[in-house]
Amino acid sequence: MRRGRLDDNRPMRDFWWFARRLFRRKREVALLLLGATVSAGGLGAGLLGLGPILRIILIENGSLRSMAEGAVERHAWLQFIPSGLIESLPTQPYPGVMLAMVGLAILTIVGASANYMHQMVSMTICARTVAQVRLEVFQHAIHLPLGEVNRQGPTEFTSRVLRDTSDLRGGFESLTSKTLAQVTKGLAAFIAAMIFDWRLVLVSLVVGPLLGVVLRKTGKSIRRGSRGSLEAGELLLRSTNESMQGLRAVKTASAEREAVRRFNRANHEALVQELRMRRARSLAAPLIEMLTVFAAMVLAIVAARQILAGELAFDRFVLSLGSLAVAAGSLRPLTGFIHEIQAASAPATRLRAMLSVVREDTNEWRKPILQPHVREIAFESVVFRYPGSDHRALDGVDVTFDHGSRVAIVGPNGCGKTTLLSLLTRLFEPESGRVTVDGVDLRTVNVRSIRSQIGVVSQESILVKGTIADNVRFGLRSATNDAVIEALRRAHAWNFVERLSGGIHAIVGEQGSSLSGGQRQRIAIARAVLRNPAILVMDEATSQIDAESEEQINDAIADFGAGRTVVVIAHRLSTVLACERIVVMDHGRVIDTGRHDELLGRCDLYRRLAQAQLTEAG
């Protein structure tokens, strides 16, 4: 997701790309338009009818009945009105005024009810559309290549899934609820003003282009400020997550002040970007108010000349000016609403940029399924380099693991052990060379069929907040409780799970905080066992646990690993000795393979590693 310069000449295409989804809900959109139209129609009818009725009754000493009779005589299309209804109208001024007020009250109630329906439907459409966008964005993010997520940082994706979609909702609501309601009301009042005196309306239109210039200029600043605010918000979220998730390390290192300094820098940048956007919004309202006053002054001058010349009745001028005032009052909030929509264009651009990144499962359905592993796993002249890195993480690796064997991979930190096995699960793709299972290049088969045959237990066991059963079933929701218990038994985890209150239904704290390190690892092994994989990968699964837990985990691996290919990355000698074959790596290369006693006699690096581990064990 390249952070390109915001294209100020592009009229918010990304926002409208998302906004089109609002109009896919045709039934709700029809109700939305109906509510806005009825609400605005009531306002327009009130403006058009109230003035003439009061003028006839109070100034010309007429009545509602005489006015209705005259209207029927002048307009043939009103002949359908029953004569009895007309005769029931009052002939006295005061009852006529009262009836007119009752009619206006009914129009007001109808308009308010329609406005309520419009607001409710608008919020429903926006909430459902944003929920759909949020799900789509998360679904896309979770299927992105791991390298892309690592390059951008998980915090950035979290910010886009949560904050950007929330900001997008603000633009949707401004468009469907506030803007639509105000535009229809303003248009109804504008039509009423046109009917009273079209010449004044034409004069008032001169201010329109000037308003457009103001909105365009301030809109650019708002979009830039909104984009900067979102990026600063990511830094703020990242700083907060790093400090709170690593609070143990912060405290043990007495780094509270450093954490506060990092947060303060991010917080200050977020404030600067927020104020930049607020300045543009604050400037727009006074400018538009000034232009509106100037427009009213011009209207007064033109109207005064026409009234003095006898070309315009004073009451029609008042009614036209009043209608224009209502129109202006309805359209005035549009400045803020349009700015909200413009502010939403920045998160829309970021969201669309993320959705444009190719998912790892794109076109995977076209590829054949990998058949069950029965022969060997081979790395053939594999070269891999992380994006942005100057050196190769893997440099021409050639190694083969036979089916059913138990292989340990050892080497100093950073030698490429985890990277090698990440290619086996297709978390990364080799730059050159190939990884094969039973002679099949993994790039040519469906990625899900690969991972379904591999169980992985890593150094950091990822547990979710939920029950023990939920964590064991993670990724395999159809498994029964009996299958979960059997997997826990085979992982040597049932002995502590059955003692928990609730057993497999006991709640696990966030990130497995309610369990010890060894217990978390055995839950992770049970998860792998439940998948019944042909290949089991243990990535330093015993490096941070006590000796008793390590023994139980090794026993679990020995029991479950029979008849499966087991590949272990380990730093502890006890784990290495339990393997039939040891692969020694250094600087991205395989420098030797063999059994423990063979490597001790001929491989200096392995001898140093073994001596260091023996020293640590002692």
Say which DSSP state 493 is in: -
Of the candidate ranges 139-143, 174-178, 398-402, the one whose mean pLDDT is the lowest? 174-178
Q: What pLDDT does residue 287 have? A: 59
pLDDT of residue 385 exceeding 90, the answer is: yes
Give CA separation, 413 vs 86, 390, 417, 418, 426, in Å: 96, 18, 8, 10, 22
In which band, very low, low, confident or very high, does the pLDDT at 186 lie, cut at 50, 70 and 90?
low
pLDDT of residue 275 exceeding 80, the answer is: no
CB count, 10 Å around CB of 435? 24
Which alpha helices (DSSP H) does 309-355 contain, by range? 314-331, 334-355
pLDDT of residue 254 exceeding 80, the answer is: no
In which band, very low, low, confident or very high, does the pLDDT at 440 lie, cut at 50, 70 and 90?
very high
pLDDT of residue 25 exceeding 90, the answer is: no
What is the SS3 assignment for 158-219?
HHHHHHHHHHHHHHHHHHHHHHHHHHHHHHHHHHHHHHHCHHHHHHHCCHHHHHHHHHHHHH
| Tokens standing for residue 154 | 């998980």
Mean pLDDT in residue range 524-530: 88
Instruction: For residue 609, report the phi and psi dihedrals to the nearest 5 degrees.
Output: -65, -45
Looking at residue 618, its amino acid is G
Token pair 């994706």: residue: 157
What is the SS3 assignment for 448-468?
HHHHCCEEEECCCCCCCCEEH
pLDDT of residue 3 exceeding 50, the answer is: no
pLDDT of residue 537 exceeding 70, the answer is: yes
pLDDT of residue 426 exceeding 80, the answer is: yes
Of the candidate ranges 197-206, 424-433, 552-561, the one whose mean pLDDT is the lowest? 197-206
Distance of CA 559 to the CA centre of its chain: 44
**Measured between alpha carbons, how far is 544 from 78 in angstroms, rounded to an integer?**
90
In which band, very low, low, confident or very high, does the pLDDT at 388 lie, cut at 50, 70 and 90?
confident
pLDDT of residue 285 exceeding 60, the answer is: no
Distance of CA 329 to the CA centre of its chain: 35
Q: What pLDDT does residue 6 have? A: 43
Domains, the chain, ranges and CATH? Answer: 13-355 (1.20.1560.10), 363-452+570-618 (3.40.50.300)
Mean pLDDT in residue range 586-593: 94
**Measured between alpha carbons, how far is 549 from 364 in angstroms, rounded to an integer?**
39
Q: What is the pLDDT of residues 39-89, one digit of tens each?
A: 766 665 555 555 555 555 545 555 666 666 666 666 665 666 777 777 777
Q: What is the pLDDT of residues 349-367, one digit of tens each?
A: 888 888 988 888 888 888 9
Q: What pLDDT does residue 398 have? A: 95
Selected residue with higher pLDDT from 351 and 282: 351
Give CA separation, 607 vs 203, 412, 470, in Å: 93, 12, 43
Of the candidate ranges 245-249, 441-445, 526-530, 553-557, the one whose mean pLDDT is the lowest? 245-249
What is the SS3 assignment for 374-415?
CCEEEEEEEEECCCCCCCCCEEEEEEEEECCCEEEEECCCCC
Q: What pLDDT does residue 11 have? A: 42
pLDDT of residue 473 exceeding 80, the answer is: yes
**Measured between alpha carbons, how far is 224 from 236 in angstroms, rounded to an integer?**
18
Mean pLDDT in residue range 407-428: 91
Say which DSSP state 78 is in: G
**Measured between alpha carbons, how far is 281 from 222 in angstroms, rounded to an integer?**
7
Reduced to 3 states (helix: H, G, I; strand: E, B; else coil), residue 430 is coil
Q: What pLDDT does residue 359 have? A: 87
Say which DSSP state 428 is in: S
R_g over Cα of the chain: 37
Q: Which of 239, 588, 590 is nearest to 389 (CA)?
A: 588
Q: What pLDDT does residue 217 have? A: 60
Mean pLDDT in residue range 160-189: 75
DSSP string, 534-597: SEEEEESTTTTS-HHHHHHHHHHHHHHTTTSEEEEE-SSHHHHHTSSEEEEEETTEEEEEE-HH
8 Å CB contact between 391 and 385: yes
In which band, very low, low, confident or very high, does the pLDDT at 5 lie, cut at 50, 70 and 90?
very low
CB count, 10 Å around CB of 78? 12
Mean pLDDT in residue range 300-318: 58
In which band, very low, low, confident or very high, does the pLDDT at 310 lie, cut at 50, 70 and 90?
low
Structural element, H or E, at residue 63:
none
> Are β-strands 589-594 and 440-441 bridged in parallel, bridged antiparallel, or unpaired?
unpaired
Mean pLDDT in residue range 116-135: 84
**To the nearest whole number, what is the mean pLDDT of the chain?**
76
Mean pLDDT in residue range 439-444: 94
Q: What pLDDT does residue 179 have? A: 64
pLDDT of residue 286 exceeding 70, the answer is: no
pLDDT of residue 329 exceeding 80, the answer is: no
Q: What pLDDT does residue 61 have? A: 56
Report the predicted TM-score, pTM, of the whole model to 2 decimal places: 0.70
Q: What is the pLDDT of residues 336-345, one digit of tens each?
A: 566 677 778 8
Q: What pLDDT does residue 370 have? A: 93
Q: What pLDDT does residue 408 have? A: 92
Q: What is the pLDDT of residues 164-173, one digit of tens each?
A: 888 888 888 8
Q: What pLDDT does residue 51 have? A: 57
Mean pLDDT in residue range 558-583: 85
Q: In the chain, pLDDT over 70 holds for what percent of residues? A: 65
Give CA separation, 356 vs 16, 353, 443, in Å: 16, 5, 22
Mean pLDDT in residue range 197-225: 59
pLDDT of residue 439 exceeding 50, the answer is: yes
Q: What pLDDT does residue 9 have? A: 46
Q: What pLDDT does residue 317 have? A: 58
Selected residue with higher pLDDT from 525 and 82: 525
In which band, very low, low, confident or very high, does the pLDDT at 617 lie, cut at 50, 70 and 90?
very low
Say which DSSP state 259 is in: H
Structural element, H or E, at residue 436:
strand 432-437
Mean pLDDT in residue range 11-23: 82
pLDDT of residue 489 exceeding 80, the answer is: yes
pLDDT of residue 613 exceeding 90, the answer is: no
